[in-house]
Amino acid sequence: MKPVKVGLLGLGTVGTGVVRIVEGHQEDLASQVGSPIVIEKVLVQDKSKARNISIDPDKLTEDAWDIIRHPDIDVIVEVMGGIGLTKEYILEALSLGKHVVTANKDLMALHGPEILAKAQENRCDVLYEASVAGGIPIIRTLVEGFSSDRINKIMGIVNGTTNFILTKMSQEGASYLDVLKEAQELGYAESDPTSDVEGLDAARKMTILATIGFRANVALEDVSVQGISSVSKEDILYAKRLGYEVKLLGIAERQDDLISVSVQPTMVKQTHPIASVNGVFNAVYVYGEAVGETMFYGAGAGELPTATSIVSDLVAVVKNLKLGVNGKQASLAYKEKKLKTDEQISSKYFLLLKVADRAGVLARITQVFADFEVSLESVLQQPTPSNPEVEIIVITHDANKAAMQKVLAMFESLDVVHEVKSVYRVEG
């Protein structure tokens, strides 16, 4: 049996996991695809560096083109990250008829349509399961499992770092900055945590999921993004008191072929399954017209969970190779993208207001909501001892985003409203 030869771009944490699984599961892999899978060449930054995995030094190279242009390599597995040069490598590999498996969410979120078009042009596969939610097979589920259904909503915790931070704040009453420091010490957060805590990482993943789920080319700039850096202990305390947990959710919705995609801290009812997803775990909730509600839960990152997704994609490519059907997957984005306006985006909202403690204030505030046709589900007034102001908590019924923006603008101009402390979407 002629082996299928693989070129591996990158030997960091995930690349090491890929080598471990491919070399450790040879019998299982060969039984699935009918031939051995061999890692032929591996791109590293420094061949002399000591490694925690045994690998033939002759297989190592510091030049990516040794792999891209290698005549015997059938599949390129890209786990090096980056965008510019990585995109160049992948497009060249596809033009040479090599199939690609990648874990690169940044690349696929920004340049996915171009890469997939090049793959189809050259009858190549590009699979990228590991780019979203680590070991959870969510992309394959959306493409294959929901192929006969129509997805109306995808809602998920797709960033483990922020979920770890919010979980610790909820369970231990710790401050955002204290937990962020702990997350950095544990290696869950980078020294510059901006991509995670400001929601950019989650936004890239939701771009990919929305494109697949709604069959339209959703771009990163189509995603409304808000991070967790302004979430306070007070917000989480109030949320718990009202029966909610605060989670950074990616939410992609479709109604009558109109799409909205956002990433934002959200108050989730404690009875909703996604509210109990804690620590660095991820979960993606999918609403299909036929199947109803489904949830996919698991490790969202890490050496072996992510490597498992990569090797699963590798197996799929090799099976297609044996059947001669590479590059024949249907176009994932064949629908025209139509984005919702702010008037068409609707949800419940939580507001925490600091207002003057005097008669008639509550009536003035509720009148503002009425003026913009926002109905209220509940209003709670919290006196603050030895303070000339009180806190008012409001949860609205479904209200459109444009109306809520007008409400908030009006509060800015009211002398009795001292501060709009917090505003959150409410789910579940």
Catalytic residue IDs: 205
Q: Where are the beta strands (DSSP E) in 63-122?
A: 75-78, 99-102
The DSSP call for residue 143 is I
Cα 116 to Cα 208: distance, rounded to the nearest angstrom: 12
- CA 208 to each of CA 80, 100, 113: distance values in angstroms, whole numbers, following the listed order: 19, 17, 10
Cα 271 to Cα 428: distance, rounded to the nearest angstrom: 8
Instruction: Tell me the three state secondary structure of residue 287.
Output: strand
Angle at 360 between CA 359 and CA 363, to 5 degrees: 145
Torsion angle of C-alpha atoms 115, 143, 264, 225, degrees rounded to 10: 20
Q: Name 156's Cβ contacts closer than 8 Å, sequence gap at least 6.
A: 133, 206, 209, 249, 250, 274, 282, 283, 284, 285
Burial of 119 (0-12, 13-18, 19+ CB in 10 A): buried
Rg of the chain, C-alpha, whole Å = 24
Q: Which two tokens stand for residue 408?
A: 């908030």
Angle at 244 between CA 384 and CA 364, to 5 degrees: 45
Cα 406 to Cα 397: distance, rounded to the nearest angstrom: 16
Cα 208 to Cα 107: distance, rounded to the nearest angstrom: 10
Provide the residue count of the chain: 428
